[in-house]
Amino acid sequence: MSSNEKFSLVHETSKRLRYKVSILKNKNIDENVLIHYFDGIEGLNTVRVNKIAASVVFNITKNIKNDIEDKLTNISLEKVLSKTTTDLGCTPCIDEGKPSLKGLVRAGAILAAEPLVSNTNVKAALTTAACMPLIIDGTKELFEEGLTSKFLEASAVAISIVRKDFLAANSANAMLELGEYIEETTVHKSDDLLKQLAKPNVEEAWIETDIDGKTTEILIKTKDIEIGNIVVVGAGSTIPIDGHIVSGEASVNQVSMTGEAEPIKKQRGDRVISGTVMEEGRIKIWAEHVGSDTATQRIKHYIENSLNEKSSVQLKATKLADKLVPVTLGLAGVSYVFSRDFERVASVLQADYSCALKLATPVAFKTAISKAGQAGIMIKGAKAIEALHSADTFIFDKTGTLTEGELEVVNVTSFDDKWSEDELLNLTASTEEHYFHPVAEAVVKAAKKRGFVHMHHEEVEFIVAHGVKTQVNGKNVLIGSRHFLEEDEGISFKKHKIQIDEMLNNGFTLLYVGYGKKLLGTISLEDRLRSNTKKTIERLKKLGVKNTIMLTGDTKERADKIAKDVGIDTVYASLLPTQKASIVKQLMSEGKKVAFIGDGINDAPALISANVGISMSKGADIAKATADVSLLKDDIAAVADAKELAENTMKLINNNFNATVGINSVILAGAAFGFFTPITTAVLHNGTTIGLLLNSMRGVKIKKA
């Protein structure tokens, strides 16, 4: 690839350019997001992105190759995301920008003035001038898009003008302008609800740095923070990065990200996320995710995607609306044939299904996504809601999902009478306290609960994927895996094999401690079940879930006990990580609609394979990136909340759909038989559309059990 491997030209014609673009390999890039990056290039007709092939096709009207390649040369994830998130709010149904009152004011003024004018020619001129934008737009749509609702409305008004029924023409025009203004306002407001979740970036932050051998705090641009920097955050400030606390304590308000109103106490070892606010205290954070990879930026990306994505229900509504336009036109023709009354024709043409069908559905989806986000549930678009509604089989990876995801010391076993349990724990904690590994943190936490007494030791050597090594009183201390102690360091396990096997059969994770070339003891750790796991499973079943399944590497006996305790229907035990996706695919091949809930790196294939993937808040980044729903709060109940929101949203959409077809059919019938004048039809039709939009805007509530 040229230009620092960012892109390469694959094919070129006078009207078309195709490039391989390396940024498409990034998991945080969405096709719709990238398309917006190229907005504003004069002569660019359309942009088509193929993420699988990592290619972008530009259809052009003139030679703009240099302009496109300048954009590609300067492309970066930060620039792409910042470009799109500043332009949120554009929808296919309406023009960009804030809703304008100009049309409504113009139509309303002429409607009010018309009765005061006695000259028929002047009335005709004023009415025609006021209605001309509608007539022009309707005519344009006829030639560009065929028969549309705009053309029907324009025809109805034009017929009234020809009949010299100026009151009907002006009334209908004013109602249409009012309806359009309220529709645009409602749609824009629904987008604003989503944009509230896209918090503004923190532009500057304090970091620690060494200057002339002294540790000093300096203020830098947030975009310049690098992974591994120590970021210092004080009371009242917004946390700019994702990471874990290395020193200090704080009270952190996470409502903007998780929906949890109560501030959370955070201390050394705890994780914090961008966009949350420090209420009290002062902390130093090791920067783990910075720039476009922070939680805040990922949320902005998801919002951009959700504003552009159409679900199959939405597409169905749009297609049906388009198909019903000829029906309305045909009904107007039949009405004229039998009545020879152009007033009836104008009345029939005032009513159609299009606006309510096309607008109420996306507004309902956007409102649901917004409300979910405010409750700490990021749903990545309308399709995810639809898939979640259809899901009848929920598969849970056990660790970090049904369980807390945090190891806890449940037992300390000493194999040497000279060493008490507390002494063994203190020895282990003294060696492990400098590390942020989950096992180390659990051991230190347990030791502090028992009254931790630090044991002096020599420098600690950390051996990746094995454990730690140090010396106490001139003897080697080895702490880590069985492989590390038994095979690498030659410590015998034979004498204690029965005890160790029994602990392993109980599902415990064991940390082995060696001292002076002997196995000194073990520390048993367990990832406890969440307290509300059982209640969540019960809620899912009440919401129509037919099958609940647990996947685990535990023994069959241990897995069956957990399943029985929480009400899981089916268990797959003793699994390898690679087997999860295969099980998901097998169940889907049987016709089941599968939702997979997981949090680990090895869960990504299953999250992608499932009809809908849900990632837990403490999950690996790749799990969050591949999931359709990302939980921002560490609460399994949010899985049931998301399912309930999807169920209620689809119910609302179906009710709106039925109401649209039913009410507008009655209005059409009344107009066709001469029961409604054009003015009455306009009021009823636009009133129905507005009511359905407001109903969608109201959205649904999550009723927690």
Over the stretch 294-322, which tens digit does the pLDDT of each residue have?
Answer: 766 665 555 555 555 555 665 666 666 66
Q: Based on the structure, what is the number of domains in the chain?
A: 4
Domain containing residue 521: CATH number: 3.40.1110.10
Residues 634 and 535 in one domain: yes
What is the distance between the alpha carbons of residues 205 and 237, in angstroms, rounded to a whole number?
9
Each residue of 650-696: pLDDT tens digit?
998 888 888 888 888 888 888 888 888 877 887 787 777 778 877 88
Higher-confidence position of 302 and 400: 400
Do 622 and 475 lie in one domain? The reply is no
Q: Regarding predicted confidence, which is higher, 396 or 74?
A: 396
Q: Is residue 624 part of a domain?
A: yes
Domain shared by 541 and 484, yes or no: no
pLDDT at 293: 65
Residue 19 has pLDDT above 50, yes or no: yes
The confidence score (pLDDT) of residue 91 equals 36
Question: Is there a contact between 293 and 334 (Cβ–Cβ < 8 Å)?
Answer: no
Do 452 and 516 lie in a common domain? yes
Task: Identify the CATH number of the domain in which residue 48 sits.
Answer: 3.30.70
281-291 residue pLDDT tens: 899 999 888 87
Average pLDDT of span 98-113: 81
194 assigned to some structural domain = no
Give 488's DSSP letter.
Answer: I
Within a domain: 175: no
In 415-517, the DSSP E strands lie at: 461-463, 467-472, 475-480, 509-515
- Using N-to-C axis directions, what is the helix angle for 354-374 and 312-339, rounded to 10°? 160
Q: Which of 358-367, 419-428, 593-602, 691-700 has the highest mean pLDDT?
A: 419-428
Report yes or no on 518 lying in a domain.
Answer: yes
CA dihedral 454, 460, 463, 469 (to 10 degrees): -70
Range of the domain at 572: 390-403+531-639
State how far the Cα of 199 lies from the Cα of 85, in Å rounded to an integer: 10
Q: What is the amino acid identity at position 162? A: V
Same domain flag for 458 and 447 = yes
Nearest alpha-carbon partner for 650 in 392, 313, 316, 315: 313
User: Residue 173: its pLDDT value, please?
Assistant: 81
Among residues 583, 613, 619, 617, which one has the least CA distance to residue 600? 619
Same domain (yes/no): 245, 255: yes
Residue 430 lies in a domain: yes
Same domain, 517 and 547: no
The residue-averaged pLDDT of 620-631 equals: 73
3-state secondary structure 580-597: HHHHHHHHHHCCCCEEEE
262 alpha carbon, distance to own chain's centre: 23
For residue 85, the model assigns a pLDDT of 42
Residues 473, 540 share a domain: no
Mean pLDDT of 444-463: 90
Q: Is 451 left (phi over 0), alpha (psi -120 to 50) or beta?
A: left
Look up the CATH number of the domain holding residue 564.
3.40.50.1000
Tell me what the mean pLDDT of segment 402-420 comes to. Answer: 90
Q: Higher pLDDT residue, 567 or 349?
A: 567
pLDDT of residue 430: 93
Asked if 394 and 441 sit in the same domain, the reply is no
108 lies in some domain: no
The verdict on residue 700 lying in a domain is no
Q: Which of 390, 323, 395 is nearest to 146 (CA)?
A: 323
Residue 598 has pLDDT above 70, yes or no: yes
pLDDT at residue 88, as a whole number: 37
Which of 464, 495, 528 is where one domain is finished? 528
Same-domain check for residues 286 and 219: yes
Lowest-pLDDT choice from 361-365, 494-498, 521-525:
361-365
What distance in Å separates the CA atoms of residue 365 and residue 346, rounded to the nearest whole number?
Answer: 34
Q: Residue 149 phi/psi, 5° resolution?
A: -65, -35
Position 106, amino acid: R
Among residues 496, 528, 560, which one ends one of the domains?
A: 528
Same domain, 412 and 524: yes
Give the percent of the chain with pLDDT over 70.
81
CA torsion 307-310-315-317 (nearest 10°) is -50
Is residue 94 included in any domain, yes or no? Answer: no
Are 397 and 540 contained in the same domain? yes
- Choose one of 639, 654, 674: the last residue of a domain: 639
Residue 673: helix, strand or coil by DSSP?
coil
Going across the sheet that includes 55-60, the strands are 7-12, 16-21, 55-60, 44-50
Which range, 363-367, 458-462, 495-499, has the best average confidence (pLDDT)? 495-499
Mean per-residue pLDDT for 72-94?
A: 55
pLDDT at 632: 80
Statement: residue 92 has pLDDT above 50:
no
pLDDT over 50 (residue 617):
yes
Residue 548: per-residue pLDDT: 97
Coil, strand, or helix at residue 481? coil
Q: Has residue 490 got a pLDDT over 90?
A: yes
Nearest-angstrom CA–CA distance, 505 and 556: 10
| Full-model pTM | 0.63
pLDDT at res. 118? 83
Q: What pLDDT score does 492 carry?
A: 94
Maximum mean pLDDT: which of 327-336, 596-605, 642-651 = 642-651
